Structure 1
Amino acid sequence: MDWRSAKKGFQSYLRLEKSLSDNSIQAYGRDVDKLTQFAEAKFAPLKPDTITLTDLRDFIVEIGDVVPTSQARIISGIKAFFKYLLLEDIIQTDPAELLEAPKTRRKLPDVLTIEDINNLIAAIDLSKPEGPRNKAMLEVIYSCGLRVSELIGLKISNLYLDIDFIKVTGKGNKERLVPIGNEAKKALDIWLNQVRVHVEVKKGEEDYVFLNRRGAHLTREMMFIIIKQLAALIGLKKNISPHTFRHSFASHLIEGGADLRAVQEMLGHESITTTEIYTHLDREYLRSTIIEFHPRS
């Protein structure tokens, strides 16, 4: 089998059977593209069904100058590709089964303090047309711990504000109900009922909560720009992104004594081990508190 056909089938498998997002599918595609370039550059070009573990190890040596986290991600993509080939009986044995990824140190995410969040929200100019929208977005992403894709994809039909919940479509199109706090509800109410009603909405975009000035739903890039501009405005030196609000939501809950399973449910994590990183954050918070306030530290 040639690489082009194998990759096309792999993409269909990821989309239809694994229900992955376009971004995830593209990331897997880039990983397999790197392997394809390596395989086709050989004196005797390798095919997906002739490549061996030794060939894959040579490939890893060739990409050895990338950082361990990137290398681990590429290997993960390659492993998924060969698992697909095995499932489809294109190969009889999986050459990537014994391929080892480099050990990576799990980096604790940057977290905003409650004061940071308050300052960022206070810096929003509510006199501008986009001000109430931006405030509602920051309040919602922090109140509900959303991914940026979940925020910009939020639909009016999925708001259940009378019972303090919103329905979110997360990774793999999995839906979950997330509680929403009073400040976020107030900001949403102002945006929806006082500002958004005056926006000329593009056809097909009527159900999206957050719109740009042209009446279409916002992009991920726009959300990044809004947050970076606010950080610059208040002189915040931390390297933040929309995901920082999600990290802050989780760590503040854990610091406050929230149950790990409840936080896992609200974040939409498939595995609790993903959520457990926030217990490490909590330990770091405790350690720094002791160092700062203990009389013998």
Structure 2
Amino acid sequence: MEEKKVNEYLEKTTVELKLKDCSNRTIESYIFFLRPFLESIENPESMALDDAKKFLAGLIGRYSNKSRALAISSLRFFFKRVVDRPDIFVKLEVPKKQRTLPVVLSVEEVRSLIRAAGFAKTELIIKMLYSAGLRVSELVNLKPLDIDFNESSGWVRKGKGRKDRLFKIADSFSKQLQKYVKNHPDNKYIFSEGNPLTTRNIQILIKKAAKRANINKRVTPHTLRHSFATHLLENGENLAVIQQLLGHENLETTRIYTHVSQEQIKKVKSPLDRL
């Protein structure tokens, strides 16, 4: 398909996504997969189902199940809201989700990561991610007014699913963060002055700190979120409360942490000991 026609279809798709109040991140993700798909066909209004299947099959081995599911969702949306082809969108099935247990740091590894931060700002970022269980995209968009230092709490504004969410931060950390905010009065965001920090920037900071701390695990900002949830569970926190803190819509999503809580496994009494 000609580039002009591709851009016309992408513009129509963007408008439809905005009408559904989708986030910019969702729109970018859909366009990411739709562009090469449209470039690979001649006309979406007359193409065969096999053309869509051929494109999706080409993603296998290059993208995870989660990413391929996103690609299928983008095509389904396109053939439902932009080009009316129910004969295609109803037959595009989303692959099964890969059920892999998340990587979790021990409490001592979290301490080591904080000590290895290298810079005061990096230390605050690590503590914030672990203290509140935030997604990295939520962290970079936090503004000073989102934090209530008197209550050691804050609000995620329009997080995943475009929802607001209350979160808690450690009392011991609240004063440290408040001092940082007071020392940076020109910051529009907690950790940046003009535009939000990029999520990639945070990922690099965490990766370097993990290397300095000699942690032999794949450590990302999301690892701290997983560790936050798991450690709360190990300390006896209610699963429904953890669900609310994480902003999970479904309790089953939160339930995965019951499978990675090592401390709870260690506390299990073998039936042999009861004989």
TM-score normalised over the length of structure 1: 0.78
Are the aligned partners of 1:165 and 1:180 in contact in 2 as well (CA < 8 Å)?
A: yes
Counterpart in the other structure of 2:40: 38
Looking at structure 1, the residues matched to 61 and 195 of structure 2 have their Cα atoms a distance apart, in angstroms, of 42
Q: Which runs of 5+ in 2 are unaligned?
A: none
AA in 2 matched with 1:263: I
Counterpart in the other structure of 1:84: 81
TM-score normalised over the length of structure 2: 0.84
Task: State the Cα deviation string for residues 169-204 of structure 1 (Å, max 9, x = none).
Answer: 2124421111221122132033223x435xxx3xxx
Looking at structure 2, the residues matched to 104 and 174 of structure 1 have their Cα atoms a distance apart, in angstroms, of 24
AA in 2 matched with 1:168: V
Task: State the Cα deviation string for residues 76-123 of structure 1 (Å, max 9, x = none).
Answer: 2222322323xxxx4152512122233342222211111111111122
Looking at structure 2, the residues matched to 55 and 149 of structure 1 have their Cα atoms a distance apart, in angstroms, of 35
AA in 1 matched with 2:33: D
AA in 1 matched with 2:75: I
Counterpart in the other structure of 1:256: 235
Are the aligned partners of 2:229 and 2:242 in contact in 1 as well (CA < 8 Å)?
A: yes
Are the aligned partners of 2:144 and 2:181 in contact in 1 as well (CA < 8 Å)?
A: no
1:28 pairs, out of 27, 30, 45, with: 30
Are the aligned partners of 1:68 and 1:102 in contact in 2 as well (CA < 8 Å)?
A: no
Structure 1 residue 166: deviation in Å? 0.5
Counterpart in the other structure of 1:166: 154
1:6 pairs, out of 4, 9, 29, with: 9
Looking at structure 1, the residues matched to 20 and 270 of structure 2 have their Cα atoms a distance apart, in angstroms, of 54
Are the aligned partners of 2:128 and 2:169 in contact in 1 as well (CA < 8 Å)?
A: yes
Counterpart in the other structure of 2:189: 208
1:102 pairs, out of 57, 74, 95, with: 95
2:53 pairs, out of 57, 60, 66, with: 57
1:114 pairs, out of 107, 110, 118, with: 107
- The structure-2 alpha-carbon separation of the partners of 1:11 and 1:280, relative to structure 1 and needing over 3 Å to count, comes to farther
Counterpart in the other structure of 1:73: 70
Q: Does 1:149 align with 2:137?
A: yes
Task: State the Cα deviation string for residues 225-274 of structure 1 (Å, max 9, x = none).
Answer: 22122111111111111111111111222233322222221112233333
Percent same amino acid among aligned pairs?
32
AA in 2 matched with 1:34: P
- The structure-2 alpha-carbon separation of the partners of 1:59 and 1:224, relative to structure 1 and needing over 3 Å to count, comes to closer
Counterpart in the other structure of 1:185: 174
Are the aligned partners of 2:129 and 2:139 in contact in 1 as well (CA < 8 Å)?
A: yes
SS in structure 2 at match of 1:252: helix
Superposition CA RMSD, Å: 2.9
AA in 1 matched with 2:238: D
AA in 2 matched with 1:211: S
Looking at structure 1, the residues matched to 195 and 61 of structure 2 have their Cα atoms a distance apart, in angstroms, of 42
151-160 or 261-270: which moved more? 261-270
Are the aligned partners of 2:79 and 2:86 in contact in 1 as well (CA < 8 Å)?
A: no
1:48 pairs, out of 17, 20, 44, with: 44
2:251 pairs, out of 272, 275, 285, with: 272
Q: Which runs of 5+ in 1 are unaligned?
A: 40-44
SS in structure 1 at match of 2:237: coil
Are the aligned partners of 1:18 and 1:172 in contact in 2 as well (CA < 8 Å)?
A: no
Are the aligned partners of 1:158 and 1:166 in contact in 2 as well (CA < 8 Å)?
A: yes
Looking at structure 1, the residues matched to 70 and 263 of structure 2 have their Cα atoms a distance apart, in angstroms, of 29
Task: State the Cα deviation string for residues 116-165 of structure 1 (Å, max 9, x = none).
Answer: 1111112234xxxx41x222222221111111121111111111111221
Are the aligned partners of 1:68 and 1:103 in contact in 2 as well (CA < 8 Å)?
A: no
Q: How many residues align?
A: 268
Looking at structure 1, the residues matched to 54 and 200 of structure 2 have their Cα atoms a distance apart, in angstroms, of 37
- The structure-2 alpha-carbon separation of the partners of 1:15 and 1:274, relative to structure 1 and needing over 3 Å to count, comes to farther
Looking at structure 1, the residues matched to 267 and 152 of structure 2 have their Cα atoms a distance apart, in angstroms, of 37
